[in-house]
Chain A
Amino acid sequence: MWMTHASEGLLIAYVDGEIEGSAAAELRDHVAACEACAGELHELERLSARAHRLLRGADVAPPMLRARAAIGTAHSVPIRRGLGRVGLGGLARAAGLVLVLAGVAAAVVPGSPVREVLSITFTRLAQLVQGQPEDAAVPPAPSAEAPAAAREAMGMAIMPADGRVRVILHAPAGVVDVRVRLVDAARARVETTSDQPDMRLRSAAGRVEVMGLGAGELRIDIPRSVRAATVEVNGRAWVLKAGDQLQLAGPAGRDRGAEVRFRIGD
């Protein structure tokens, strides 16, 4: 039998599962018999649940993709040095030479099929030098819908069609952080960390559609070489490629409860 009331520190420790075994049983017995301690325990449980809800309600989605990419770059430094000892220098020099040739050919023969081939070579060599295998982050474009289950990040890459790319978001929900940038790559890429179980990516010629996108991060890479590109939300274009630049096309924002936040560039 307790002679005094349980302290608030003991009660919250009980709520948090820090008290176990016989000590927990003893405390339960006391609370069952003591109205004051039962009231205090109930209040602490209420405060705990309320604090949890309030904090969760103000959270934003963690930028998983961006952070992992940045950390991966940092991590690759010692690996690159290690490769250098067994011949990366030669590879880098060879890559550099091909890059120069690609640049000259692209500049001299605009519209040539050679330009496309060298552009792809450029992209692949650049990825090799950076220690990234082609499509390391994004699987090849599937031919049908891809389920989002059990993935940390989900992505899709497509070739432009007739020099155009469209990325279409259907009915996004929650806070969606969208980053759109121009890249020196042949294919457009879409990656997301949204964890909506019913989210789907669908591709067609020059087009990626994202359905059921939930709160999270969406990264869109648009090939610099395309003539036109749009990022659309519920059928309305918010980002356009105009000339050599990406531009916000209008007042993006809330749409049926979603908050879509755009950033242009890295």
Chain B
Amino acid sequence: VDFDSVFATLYPSLYRYLHRLTGDEDAAEDIAQEAFVRLLRQSLPEAEIRPWLFTVAMNLVRDRARKRERRKRLLTTASPLVLRPEQPDEGLERAERIHWVRDVLDGLPPRDRQLLLMREEGFKYDEIAAVIGVAPASVGTLIARALKKFVSAYEAREDVDDARV
């Protein structure tokens, strides 16, 4: 399998998944990069590459979280310099909505978050079950409940905001 074509196909999906999962652009970039570097040392059938990458990435996310917790300090990655002059109202509103999505995702149990995000990346249920470590037959039920939690929590934020206005 040509590495460049694998990279071009899978990197955007892996990065998007990691960014959604962690809410941290730098962490997503570092972890996705590390997963692909490790992939270079593997010899895998094409069909196994994607689940392998996501499994490795998930392990790296967990390792990173454990280290961070143990050391009790935040990652020292530099934030991008984002210079924003006065934003129009629509820009502020969009930023607020993105913040809500992040908050709601962070508020979900980790397993629900992973289920939702892997589903969004188009994984089949048996692949999700293998990566997350649940019974394949339970994936549908778990996804349905995670979906309901996610959207209802977001819509509750909207309702509060509407009431405020």
Contact = CB atoms under 8 A, between A and B. Distances in A.
Are A and B co-members of a single complex?
Answer: yes
B61 interface: no
Contacts of A254: 84-85, 87-88, 91
A9 interface: yes
A263 B147 CA distance: 37
Contact of B32 (A7, A57, A67): A67
Interface stretch (A47-55, A140-148, A157-165): A47-55
Contacts of A252: 83
Contacts of B88: 254
Interface SS of chain B: helix
A68 B15 CA distance: 12
B80 A44 contact: no
A217 B23 CA distance: 19
Interface stretch (A70-78, A93-101, A122-130): A70-78
A47 B147 contact: yes
B33 to A, nearest CB: 5
B80 A261 contact: yes
B125 A51 contact: no
Interface residues of A, number: 43
Nearest to B140: A9
B29 A63 contact: yes
B11 A67 contact: yes
B85 A253 contact: yes
Given A63-B29, A71-B40, A248-B81, A18 B124 contact: yes
B142 to A, nearest CB: 8
Interface in A159-191: 177
A259 interface: yes
B97 A57 contact: yes
Contacts of B84: 251, 253-254, 259
A251 B120 CA distance: 36
Interface string B63-100: 00000000000000000111111011001001001100
A177 to B, nearest CB: 7
Contacts of A13: 125, 139-140
B102 interface: yes
A9 B36 contact: no
B50 interface: no
Interface string A251-265: 111100001011110
A58 interface: yes
Given A10-B140, A67-B29, A67-B32, A59 B20 contact: yes
A211 interface: no
A92 B80 CA distance: 36
Interface of B: 3-4, 7-8, 11-12, 15-16, 19-20, 25, 29, 32-33, 36-37, 40, 80-85, 87-88, 91, 94, 97-98, 101-102, 116-117, 119-120, 124-125, 138-145, 147-148, 150-151, 154
9 contacts: A8-B144, A9-B143, A55-B116, A57-B94, A58-B101, A70-B33, A251-B83, A253-B82, A254-B84
